[in-house]
Structures are given as C-alpha cells and as structure tokens.
Structure 1
Amino acid sequence: MPFSPFYIVLGVIALFILLSSFFIVKQQTAAIIERFGRFQSIRHSGLQMKIPLVDRIAGKLSLKIQQLDVIIETKTLDDVFVRLKVSVQYKVIKDKVYDAFYKLDYPHDQITSYVFDVVRAEVPKMKLDDVFVKKDDIAIAVKTELNDAMMEYGYDIIKTLVTDIDPDAQVKAAMNRINAADREKTAAQYEGDAQRILIVEKAKAEAESKRLQGQGIADQRREIARGLEESVEVLNKVGINSQEASALIVVTQHYDTLQAIGQETNSNLILLPNSPQAGSNMLNDMVASFTASNQIGEAMKRTKNTKKGDL
C-alpha cells in the first residue's frame, strides 16, 4: 500500500523534531538552555539533547581568554595630554556562566567604563615621565579595580597591560630635542676627555723624551771627559806635560770637526776659524778662563775665612 502524502509529511516532521533534539557544543563554549523562556540548564562541550519545541538555546558564551583594547585620553600632573592604550585580557568563569549571561548584557562596555575610571584617576597624579616609568603600576591598579567589579558578573580579569603611551605631537618633538641635546652634551664631554688625555699623554711623552735626552747628553759628556783624562794620562807617560797634552787634544778635535763638516754633502755653509793659531788661541782662552775662575774661588774662600775670624 503506497504511503499517502500525509504520512510522508508526518514522517518528515517527526524526523525534523528528532534531529532538532540534538545539538553540539564546541570545546571551551557553554550553551544556555531555556524552557518556555526560563533558565533550564547550562550545557558544555559535546553532543547534547533538548526537548524539541520546549527547550531552546538562549545563547552561547566562549570560555576562552578574550582581549579588549581600550584607548583613553587624559591629562598628566604637568598638564600634558596623553593617549594610553590599555589591553584587558579576561574570560568567563566556568562556574559562573549564569551570572555572566544574565547579569550583564554588554561586558565590553562595562569593562571599558571601569578602565576609563581608573586610568583617569591614576594618571593625573603623575608627571609625564612617571607615566612611562610607572605604567605597570597603572596596569595593576586597573586589574585590581576590574577584578573586584567584574567577579560579581562572572568574569575573571587575567591581565591588564598598558601597551602604548602616546603624548601630544608637540610634546614628543620637545622630548626628542631634549634627548638629542643630552646626547650631544655627553658626546662633547667624551670628546673633551679624550682630547685632555691626548694632551696629558703627549706632555708626558715629551717630558720623558727631554729627560732621556738630558741623560744622554750628560752620559756623553762624562764619556768625553773620561776619554780626555785617559788621553792626557797616556801623553804624560810619553813625556808630554798636561798643558802640551791639552793643546794637542784641542787641536786634534778642531781638525776632526773640520773634517766631519767637509764630509757632510748636505750641510749649510759654516764659517769657522781655520788658521794654524786657532787651536792655540782656543787653548789660551781656556787656560785664562780656568786661571780667572781659580783666582775668584780663592778670593771668596779668603773672604769667608776672614769673616769667621772676626766672629
């Protein structure tokens, strides 16, 4: 017996009702079931069943952590307008899905209002530099206030972050100029210190060079004197007295000097006495100087002894 259209329609309706009795709730989601407009139950992830035409899914809430970014413009203690971006991470408490769904229609608006209230109460107490330094304190204050307020509505505030601080454009330009000036000042100080160190080290090097030069000249003169003394001793041994030996040495050095100057091809013109009497004249001048010096010394000694005798 063929099925009549009535039975076909009835079968389709029965199948539809049967299928509508089952529904799926995704992971980290809660479904609120109402019966004739009244709260019935909360269903979590998996395959769930409800009474067709009697129960309905009033809504679904995500149990995942969500983030809300709130931008607030306020004024600091030093009268600088600044824009702050506060990121609020929150989630619905699994055991308080009922409160989250029925007690609060617009959680985003509620959270935003509390963030505005806290930030505009905290930032005007700080100077602009302190806002950058104490941004974590602002975030903690926002989190504390939100936790106390939103816990009643079934929301848990996981974390709050001040992710951006944007002062007025003119203020930022002024801050950049100040930073640039400070860096230039520091660079100038380092350059000055470097120049001072170079000057000091150069002076030390020159002083050391002069000291070594003086020491070298003194050593040279000692060696010359020692050589002259040895030369005089050798000449004395062969019967030449000290005066004759001195004359011979002076004349020898005189002609050695002339020979050395003549061998230097790039030397400038130097006029020196070259007569045979030049060495003798120099020796006589030296002897006269030594004699006068000895006479002056003896006179000074006699004068000192006379004064001591008078006393």
Structure 2
Amino acid sequence: MGTFAGIFIVVIAFFIILSGIFTVKQQTAALVERFGKFLSIRNSGLHFKIPIVDRIAGKINLKIQQLDVNVETKTKDDVFVHLKVSVQYQVTRAKIYDAFYKLESPSAQITSYVFDVVRAEVPKMKLDDVFERKDDVANAVKSELNDAMLDYGYDIIRTLVTDIDPDNKVKDSMNRINASEREKVAAEFEGEAERIKIVAVARAEAESKRLQGQGIADQRREIARGLEESVEVLNKVGINSQEASALIVVTQHYDTLQSIGSQTNSNLILMPNSPEAGSNMLNDMIASFTAASQIGEEMKKQNDRKTIQQKPD
C-alpha cells in the first residue's frame, strides 16, 4: 500500500513539474501572470514557470493580420454602394502589454473606425468619384486608424478598398449606358466607313463617266473624219456632197441591219427596217438637200437685190 502511494506521489510531482514547462511559437508572444498579476512577456522558445503559482494569461500573434470590413453607405448622388475595405495590421513588440490588456477586441475596434471614416468620406463623393478616388478613401481610413490604434499597440500597415459594389439597378443602368456609348462609337465608325465607300464609288463613277465621255468624243471625231474622207473620195468620182452624204447614210442603215441580224439574242428593232426603207430614205434626203439648196439660192438673190437698192445713185 505504501509503495503504491509513493508511486502516485511521484507521478503527481512529475506532472506538476511538467506543467511548468511550455513553448512559444515563432512570431508569437506569451504573457505570464503570477497570482493574477502581470509578470512577464515570453517570446518564442522553451520557457519555465512556477506550477500553480504562474499561469499563461494569453498569447498574441505578432504576424501581419488582415481584417476585411464590408460597409454599406450612400454617395453624394444618392446611390447606395457596398465597399470592402481590407485592413492589414500588426502588434508592435514594444507594446505587447498594451495590445493585450488595453483592448478587448481589436477587430471590433478597427471595424468601428472603418465604418466611421467610410461613412464620413464617401457621402462627399459622387459614384464615379468613388471609383476614381478609392485610394483617397483608403488613405483616410489608414490615417484615422493609425491615430486611434497606435495607443493600443497596433500598427496599421496598409488599408485597401478592394471592392466597390453599387446597387444592382444602378449597375444595370451603368451597363446600359456603357453599351449605348459603345454602340454609338460603333455606329460612328460604320457611318464613316460607309461614307468613305460612297465617296470612293462616286469618284470611280465620275472617272468612269469622264473616260466614257472622252471615248465617245474621240469616237465621234473619228467618225466625222471618216465621213469627211468618204465624201472627198466620192467627189473625186463625180458624186456631189449631197449625194455622197445620202449614200453614206443608206450604207450605214444597211450595215446596222446586218449587225442586228447577226445577233440572235438581240431585242433591238431599227425603224424603219423594210426593204424600201433605204431607197425612200435616200430619195427623201436628196429632195431635202435640193430644196434646201434652192431656198438658199433664192435667199442669196434677194439679199443681193436689197443691197443694190440700198446703194446711193
């Protein structure tokens, strides 16, 4: 019985001594109290404390931590937006005591300051300005938090406005406006392209007409030169100019009929096109030329008589 009690006492003593040994992880600080009063700060490594007398009151993380705060507020142009503000903070080694004993909930404290600053700054801006000046909002939050949290042993490393989310109806309106602007720009480009195409077609058509007119003028010039040469040849064989002209017209008439007949799919009809048409045309032209010549001779004689009568005696 005595041996069993001795073993029991040794085991209890061993566990009591073992409870006085503890370790602290890297980038962590442990605060030790003795009978409820602060005793010391233990950094990373192996440490000892008096069992039952000393106790670890708590541990503080010395790494850089991040807290994301979602804030709903209203802009100057009465648009409700949700802002996500990310705050990166760290406990300073020189103020571990203050960080542990002065502040019950650092995350709640930081959240309150973020709400206060964002709801003071954003209502001064329009929605577009919030997007453009989000860094100003982040800097205002950082400045306010640094002044408030430094006394509690917390250093604000950086603040970021990571998301700006307007109301769904506002987003839909903004998307429609952007789509309309893009369609407007696209329509302007399409209109300009169509205008360039029309101008190019018009210039090409004008150049085509100019060349076509030049070709017709050259063609008529050559036809006139050929007719002139034909009349000269016929005059040399005793055919006067009127008869020569009539002969050429009749010849061209029959040449045209022959050309039309050689084209099987032609819908052109030459009027008149009867066998007597050539001779009738020739007779009509000769009669017309003869009558015109007689009228011209008569008018010349009348003019000569008037001239003689007007001369003084």
Q: Same fold (TM over 0.5)?
A: yes
Aligned equivalents of 2:84 and 2:97: distance in 1?
Answer: 31
Aligned equivalents of 2:293 and 2:112: distance in 1?
Answer: 110
Aligned equivalents of 1:81 and 1:24: distance in 2?
Answer: 50
Aligned to 1:112: 111
Structure 2 counterparts to residues 33-182 of structure 1, below 5 A = 33-182=32-181
Aligned to 2:28: 29
CA offset digits 1:59-88 (Å, max 9, x no partner): 111122222121222222122232222121
Structure 2 counterparts to residues 176-215 of structure 1, below 5 A = 176-215=175-214
Compute the TM-score of the two structures, normalised by the length of structure 1.
Answer: 0.80
1:138 to 1:291, Cα distance in 2 relative to 1, 3 A: farther
Aligned equivalents of 1:152 and 1:143: distance in 2?
Answer: 15
Give secondary structure in 2 for the equivalent of 1:272: coil
Query: Share of identical aligned residues, percent?
Result: 68
1:291 to 1:110, Cα distance in 2 relative to 1, 3 A: farther
**Amino acid corresponding to residue 170 of structure 2 in structure 1:** V
**Amino acid corresponding to residue 219 of structure 2 in structure 1:** Q
Gaps of at least 5 residues in structure 2 are 297-313
1:155 to 1:202, Cα distance in 2 relative to 1, 3 A: same
Aligned equivalents of 2:111 and 2:294: distance in 1?
Answer: 112
1:154 to 1:275, Cα distance in 2 relative to 1, 3 A: same
Between stretches 249-258 and 25-34, larger displacement belongs to 249-258
1:239 to 1:275, Cα distance in 2 relative to 1, 3 A: closer
Aligned equivalents of 1:292 and 1:57: distance in 2?
Answer: 144
**Amino acid corresponding to residue 178 of structure 1 in structure 2:** I
For the 8 Å contact 2:73–2:122, the answer to whether it is kept is yes
CA offset digits 1:103-140 (Å, max 9, x no partner): 21110111011111111110111112211221121111
Between stretches 10-19 and 224-233, larger displacement belongs to 224-233
Give secondary structure in 2 for the equivalent of 1:48: strand
1:266 to 1:58, Cα distance in 2 relative to 1, 3 A: same
Aligned to 2:272: 272
Runs of 4+ in 1 over 4 A off after TM superposition: 229-236, 238-242, 244-248, 279-293
Aligned to 1:297: none
Aligned equivalents of 1:54 and 1:290: distance in 2?
Answer: 153
1:118 to 1:216, Cα distance in 2 relative to 1, 3 A: same
Give secondary structure in 2 for the equivalent of 1:34: strand
Aligned equivalents of 1:55 and 1:172: distance in 2?
Answer: 59
- 1:27 is displaced (CA, Å) by 2.2
Aligned to 1:299: none
**Amino acid corresponding to residue 253 of structure 2 in structure 1:** H
Structure 2 counterparts to residues 237-276 of structure 1, below 5 A = 239=237, 243=241, 246-268=245-267, 269-272=269-272, 274-276=277-279
Give secondary structure in 2 for the equivalent of 1:275: helix
Aligned equivalents of 2:246 and 2:294: distance in 1?
Answer: 16
Aligned to 1:218: 217
Between stretches 157-166 and 124-133, larger displacement belongs to 157-166
Gaps of at least 5 residues in structure 1 are 294-311
**Amino acid corresponding to residue 272 of structure 2 in structure 1:** L
For the 8 Å contact 1:250–1:283, the answer to whether it is kept is no
1:262 to 1:116, Cα distance in 2 relative to 1, 3 A: same
For the 8 Å contact 2:118–2:137, the answer to whether it is kept is yes
Aligned equivalents of 2:41 and 2:62: distance in 1?
Answer: 13
Aligned equivalents of 1:290 and 1:103: distance in 2?
Answer: 134
Give secondary structure in 2 for the equivalent of 1:276: helix
- 1:279 is displaced (CA, Å) by 4.3
How many residue pairs align between the two structures?
292
Give secondary structure in 2 for the equivalent of 1:31: strand
1:271 to 1:108, Cα distance in 2 relative to 1, 3 A: same
Between stretches 47-56 and 187-196, larger displacement belongs to 187-196
1:189 to 1:8, Cα distance in 2 relative to 1, 3 A: same
Aligned to 2:305: none
For the 8 Å contact 1:254–1:279, the answer to whether it is kept is no
Aligned equivalents of 2:86 and 2:293: distance in 1?
Answer: 101
For the 8 Å contact 1:25–1:31, the answer to whether it is kept is yes
Aligned equivalents of 2:18 and 2:215: distance in 1?
Answer: 115
For the 8 Å contact 1:251–1:280, the answer to whether it is kept is no
Between stretches 107-116 and 29-38, larger displacement belongs to 29-38
